[in-house]
Amino acid sequence: MASNLLCFLDPLKALRQILGQFLCRLGSREVRVLVVASLGLCLAPGRVLGQKEWVVYQPFGPTLLWSVAFDAERDEFVAVGPERQVAWDVDISILEDHTSESLEGAYSLALSGASIVIGQILQEGIGYSGDRDSWSQYFPGESFWGVAYGDGQFVVVGTGGRIATASVALNDWSAVTIDGINTNLYAICFGDGRFLTGNEDRVLSSTNGSDWKIHEVDLGVSVRSMAFGRERFVLVGAAGAVMVSDDGENWLPRDSGTTSSLRGVTFGDGLFVAVGGNGTIIYSIDRGDSWNTVEVGTAQQINAVTFGRRMFHAVTSGGQVLASRSIMTPPTIVVEVADQSVLAGSNVRLEVSAAGTAPLAYSWSFEGVVIDGADSSRLEILEISEHDEGTYTVSVFNPAGAITGRPAFLDVLPVDTPPAIMEQPVSVATVEGEPLELSVVAEGTAPLVFRWFKGSQWLVNASGPILTKESAELSDAGRYSVSVSNGFGEATSREVVVSVTPSDRVPEILAHPSGGTVFAGQAFELRVSDRAWPPPTYQWFRDEVELSGEHSSAIRFSPIRMEDSGAYHVRVTNLLGYADSEVAILKVVRPESAPVIVVQPEDGDVIVGDIFELAAAVDGHPKPTVQWYHDGEPIALATSESFSVDAARSEDEGRYWIEARNRLGSVKSRVVEVVTRDGRPHLVDLPESGVVEFGRPFSVSIGADGPGPMSYRWFRDDAELSGADGPVFKIESVDFSHSGHYSVEVGNEWGATRSDVFQVTVVPVNSAGVWMGEVLGGGGPGYFALYVRDDRSAVIFGADGHGDPILDREVKIGDNGSFGFTGRYKPDTRTIVPEPEGSGVLQNDLVEGATTDGFLLQGARTYDHPALSFVGFYRAGIAGTVAGELLLIADDSGRYVLSVEIGGWIGSASGRMDAAGRDHLAFDHGHLEFSLDSEAGILSGRWTVSGGPTLTLGGLRDGTNRVDFLQNTSLRGVTGDGAAVMVTGFVVEGEGLSPVLIRGIGPGLLRYGVAGALRSVNQKLFRSEEVLAVAGDWGTSPDAVRIQEWSNLAGAFPLEPESGDSALVLNLESGAYTVHLSSTAGAGVGLTEVYLVPEAAVVSTHSCVINLSTRMRVSGGEGVIIAGFVISGEVPARVLIRGVGPGLGPFGVREFLRNPVLSLNRGSDRFATNDDWSGTDGAGIPSDLFDRIGAFHLKEGSRDAALLLWLEPGLYTAEVGSVDANTGLVLVEIYAVP
């Protein structure tokens, strides 16, 4: 370091040596001394401070300074840094070091007199001193960044929304954490009587430092410093962010012109100054709205800035301190306001030119009084007068100061002026004979010339400012004005009114009314002119009779009429007397006029035989002649204004008009239409044929046009109905006797009209659908469901009030909706008893009924148009049982009522299915699960016997076709010729023709190891006694190709072409058929097969085999009959299988099998056997079943065999043999039981 540069490495020692000194010399130049940190003090050459110029002081070491502040009360500066530095002095160039060990991490400070508070970011506390000699610390547990003083209170903000406060005595520290503030608070300021701090999305305000109000704002910047000045808050932050607010709550962003991070901002001398990274300094002279950048010659980060002694001071991270005077200059007058001399009436501009930092404000004064609104550099005065003469001054202001310019004198010179009315004349009221005077006051260059006017008439003799007349006359009344002129212009006064009241005078007629001859229709007037005072009243007379309401000086006729002719006069009266006018004779005559139609004729609607009339009204002078016309032809003798016909005829219909004529012209009326019609009633709104339900009310009506009164007669099948004599025919409750052909006759005095026949058909009540309701009485409400088919057959089941099931499958709905039912299940006896009986009626979608033992049925039809396709009646069999079945009725809401019958027990239940049609229930005798397939109409499920097995159940919705019930069948047995022929019967049911394959197999069985198979076979197909077809060797048949194709479609085992077996392919109508299988080569084992082949149908059909039977001889060994059949579909089917031996006796068969035994197999599983059908193993076959399926009866106690079972879909074989190995004929039958 050069020897002539004095530096002090020991700051304390240096301060002691130069304390009190402000300048030292470096060579021949003076430099300022500045302490920048506790680590060093250095003197460096500076520059003269000027506008927008900053002086940079560089200490000898890179001492970091975080903050600097000016204490106006003590008039001194204080600076702090993180390495325990603190220094102050009245001159920032000579700062005294007061470093303290307890001030590590000093970041910011605030001052008030001797008190200093410092925020510390390293020791997580606050350093403070009240005398600046001793230091203390307050540790509320967070780092503190920003400090502010205001209104006797220190407030410090820090990490995590922590805020600490203390009074100026510094002995009452307290700290709080603001709820909802989770980020750091770096900056705080005091202004407008409150503290303000904030972060990115909130601003906090407080008037005492303890109670804070949170304002939700989207600042979008990390706030680093805040300041207040000129009634505005300014905050700065990262990336050059600047925002301003006039109330501390609503913030607006401003463009700072820099992207450097801004770390400090202050206000002084009317300016905001902000500092930041890369040596950035910006300033604003318009309250932070726009900013300018200052080049200061340093790239160090500037951390803080303060204002004191009319200078801005800043500190940097590299130990530099920068100083600058305010860049705002006070105003100066560049060009003073000039004196002026101007003529009166001219326009004048006074103007000043000023310099200084904008914005500049101006205020003009005249003779020391401020001129309102004169706030620009120019003052303009229009049409100046002598009143504007005097001294003018202007003052110029900005935040840096004010200046008043020198006074300027405005001299107003007089000029020749045109006249001006200074005082207008005023209106005058006087009395006839009294003096009259009008006057005006005017100014202007003399001489002034006055001209008085009455209205537009110039009063030549009135030539001065005063108009006088010694004696006013009535004629002087009127509107007056005066014109004043000189050589420079003219002025006219306003108009004033002169009124002259007459003196008392007896009425005097000045002009009498004048009569004459006048045409009627014109406007006319009779008028009198008089003189009288007081004002008179008037009364007009015609032919010496007073005219009411005519009390003015004139009587007006508008228009005048013929009856207005007469002799007229008027009497004029006042308090002093009266005067009568002369009589005026007025004659009113009518003028000539062409004809006009005054009233037009109107269209007519005439009944033949009635009188009809046309009329019009015609006017004109002379009186016109008239003529009526009909369809263009004049009507004889129809020459008056009305025309009538005594008895209208149909030919009187047509177009009519009237024509009027006089010597001035002619006119035609409008053309009218006259319509004639028959007088008899015209029927409208005719009844229509319809259908009415039995028991419903019926009503029909007729409408009729025509003259009344009218009579009505109603007929059914041409017979008049007694009492039916009105336009409406009603029947309160129809029955079938009311069906028929109806008509109605409507009459009046002109005759009668009969309607067309309409038919009324009475039909039975529409009862089809699902009905549900409650059974009332007993222990509690029961329930029931009723399902009615289109043919009105129905089924009802449910439970009464005691819980006993109700079940009747054979209900019939009557024509009127009535029905009866029987059948009540008694759990104690496990029987259905026919009593008590019940009855009910279906009407208007409601059902009501009762039982003979006091139960009531109430319910309703639950659907017309189903919302769900589950609606209907379902019947399902329980597979493996004789009579086990489930009955279920469902409605469109998912409700159901069901009845379960198995093993002589019956149970009932009601409930609601889920959306998929499923539910499960528990009974004493078992557990039920079921589901409905809405598309296929299938009910399926399981019944689990209490303590027993689980059985499958299934069935169909009523009306759902069961396709291919017994899809194919086969019968194997020993056959031969004559009585040993195997006779097989089957029944086909369905629509149209059903494709059927029938095979007779003997030789083909040898391939499968069947001993004793027939060597050749023949087949005959019968319908009744008619032979429909005969078949031998199928391989030589013309249908061999179709036989092979249909066999493949049916899934039958293949036959060799030369096997000698037989086959038939036919399309059969519904009905009963028999097939005879025989052989000419002796007896042997043969097989008859019957297949339905729906795939071969030309047109899709629904068909099935509902019955299969065969008759053949049975013996031991291979002599058993084997009947195979397939149950198709998806649900169990109820099947009756019979092996009849003794039962053939009544039909003439002698060699019947005495004791047949029947076995049913599924695969290798034999699950049912019967010896004697009415024995214990055949129990459950109802006595009426044979009648229902068309089977002949078996004798009770006979040794015939039979099984009645519900069977699941699948392949089954039924074997019929002999119990005692005897031989005989036996009939095997398989029935599908509906």
Mind listing the pLDDT tens digit for each residue in 1018-1037? 999 998 888 888 998 888 88
Task: Put residue 947 in one of left, alpha, beta given phi > 0 → left and psi -120 to 50 → alpha.
Answer: left
CA distances to 265, 777, 1052 from 248, in Å? 16, 81, 99
| pLDDT score for 1143 | 87
| pLDDT score for 1116 | 59
Residues 443 and 489 in one domain: yes
Last-in-domain residue among 713, 743, 763: 763
Measured between alpha carbons, how far is 483 from 491 in angstroms, rounded to an integer?
6
| pLDDT score for 962 | 58
pLDDT digits (tens, 9 = 90+) for 217-237: 888 888 999 999 989 999 999
Helices (H) and strands (E) in the chain, counts: 3, 115
Which residues, including other chains, have CB under 8 Å from residue 297's CB and lie 6 or more apart?
A: 54, 56, 279
Q: Which residue has the tokens 């002095």?
A: 89
Largest CA distance in the chain: 177
Residues 608 and 658 in one domain: yes
Residues 377 and 470 in one domain: no
Least-confidence region, from 688-697, 948-957, 1180-1189, 1197-1206: 1180-1189
Residues 212 and 281 in one domain: no
Q: Is there a domain that residue 298 lies in?
A: yes
| pLDDT score for 492 | 95
Residues 715/695, Cβ–Cβ less than 8 Å = no
- Both tokens of 984, joined, read 């097989």
Residues 76 and 209 in one domain: yes
Last-in-domain residue among 937, 960, 983: 960
Angle at 949 between CA 946 and CA 954, to 5 degrees: 100
pLDDT digits (tens, 9 = 90+) for 530-574: 989 899 999 999 999 999 999 999 999 999 999 999 999 999 999
Residues 574 and 620 in one domain: no
Residues 633 and 725 in one domain: no
Measured between alpha carbons, how far is 1050 from 1130 in angstroms, rounded to an integer?
18
Q: Across residues 86-109, what is the average pLDDT?
A: 69
- Total domain count for the chain? 9
Q: Residue 658: beta bridge partners? A: 628
- Listing DSSP states for 215-250 in one string gives EE----S-EEEEEEETTEEEEEEGGG-EEEESSSSS
Residues 9/52, Cβ–Cβ less than 8 Å = no
Q: What number of CA atoms fall less than 13 Å from residue 882's CA on the CB side? A: 18
**Cβ-based burial of 688 (10 A; exposed 0-12, middle 13-18, buried ≥19):** exposed
| pLDDT score for 478 | 94
Residues 601 and 708 in one domain: no
Q: Is there a domain that residue 1060 lies in?
A: no
Q: What number of CA atoms fall less than 13 Å from residue 557's CA on the CB side? A: 23
Residues 1113 and 1201 in one domain: yes
Q: Is there a domain that residue 1202 lies in?
A: yes
CA distances to 251, 767, 769, 862, 864 from 845, in Å? 74, 8, 10, 8, 9
Domain that holds residue 715: 682-763
| pLDDT score for 269 | 81
Which residues, including other chains, have CB under 8 Å from residue 603's CB and lie 6 or more apart?
A: 672, 673, 674, 675
Average pLDDT of every residue of the chain = 84
Per-residue buried b or exposed e for 802-836, using 16+ beta carbons within 10 Å of the residue's own CB: eebbbbbeebebbbbbbbebbbbbeeeeeebeeee
Terminal C-alpha separation, the chain? 128
| pLDDT score for 49 | 30
Residues 1062/1033, Cβ–Cβ less than 8 Å = yes
Measured between alpha carbons, how far is 69 from 306 in angstroms, rounded to an integer?
5
Q: Is there a domain that residue 1031 lies in?
A: no
Residue 603: name the closest of 509, 672, 549 by CA: 672
Classify 737 as helix, strand or coil: helix
CA 1115 to centroid of chain Cα atoms: 86
Measured between alpha carbons, how far is 373 from 368 in angstroms, rounded to an integer?
15
Last-in-domain residue among 928, 960, 992: 960
**Cβ-based burial of 723 (10 A; exposed 0-12, middle 13-18, buried ≥19):** exposed
| pLDDT score for 965 | 52
Q: Residue 79: beta bridge partners? A: 68, 87
Q: Is there a domain that residue 825 lies in?
A: no
Q: Is there a domain that residue 453 lies in?
A: yes
- Both tokens of 482, joined, read 């005066």
Measured between alpha carbons, how far is 907 from 821 in angstroms, rounded to an integer?
18
Rg over alpha carbons for the chain, rounded to the nearest Å, is 66
Q: In what order do the strands lie in the sheet with 885-890?
A: 905-912, 895-902, 885-890, 872-878, 950-957, 938-945, 926-933, 918-923
Residues 551 and 580 in one domain: yes
Task: Put residue 1082 in one of left, alpha, beta given phi > 0 → left and psi -120 to 50 → alpha.
Answer: left
- Listing DSSP states for 815-881 in one string gives TTSEEEE--EEETTTTEEE--S-EEEEEETTEEEEEETTS-EEEEEE--SS-SSTT-EEEEEEETT-
Residues 1042/1034, Cβ–Cβ less than 8 Å = no
- The CATH number given to whatever domain includes residue 699 is 2.60.40.10
| pLDDT score for 443 | 85
| pLDDT score for 89 | 65
- The CATH number given to whatever domain includes residue 203 is 2.130.10.10
In the DSSP assignment, the letter for residue 762 is E
In the DSSP assignment, the letter for residue 8 is B
Q: Across residues 258-275, what is the average pLDDT?
A: 92
Residues 543 and 510 in one domain: yes
What number of other Cβ atoms are within 10 A of residue 511's Cβ? Answer: 10
| pLDDT score for 140 | 84
Residues 118/125, Cβ–Cβ less than 8 Å = no
What number of other Cβ atoms are within 10 A of residue 10's Cβ? Answer: 12
pLDDT digits (tens, 9 = 90+) for 169-188: 888 999 988 887 878 899 99
- Both tokens of 257, joined, read 């012109």
Q: At 429, is the pLDDT very low, low, confident or very high (cuts 50, 70, 90)?
A: very high
What number of other Cβ atoms are within 10 A of residue 635's Cβ? Answer: 16
3-state secondary structure 159-180: HHHEEEEEECCCCCCEEEECCC
Residues 1052/1089, Cβ–Cβ less than 8 Å = yes
pLDDT digits (tens, 9 = 90+) for 1188-1227: 887 888 888 899 999 888 888 888 888 888 888 788 888 8
Residues 114/131, Cβ–Cβ less than 8 Å = yes
3-state secondary structure 705-723: ECCCCCEEEEEECCEECCC
Measured between alpha carbons, how far is 849 from 398 in angstroms, rounded to an integer?
106
Measured between alpha carbons, how far is 758 from 768 in angstroms, rounded to an integer?
28
Q: Which residue has the tokens 């039912």?
A: 821
Residues 1226/1121, Cβ–Cβ less than 8 Å = yes
Residues 253/243, Cβ–Cβ less than 8 Å = yes
Q: Is the pLDDT of residue 501 over 50?
A: yes
Q: Is the pLDDT of residue 27 over 80?
A: no
Q: Which amino acid makes up residue 949?
A: P
Q: Is there a domain that residue 1216 lies in?
A: yes
The H or E element containing residue 1040 is helix 1040-1050
Residues 643 and 552 in one domain: no
Q: Is there a domain that residue 493 lies in?
A: yes
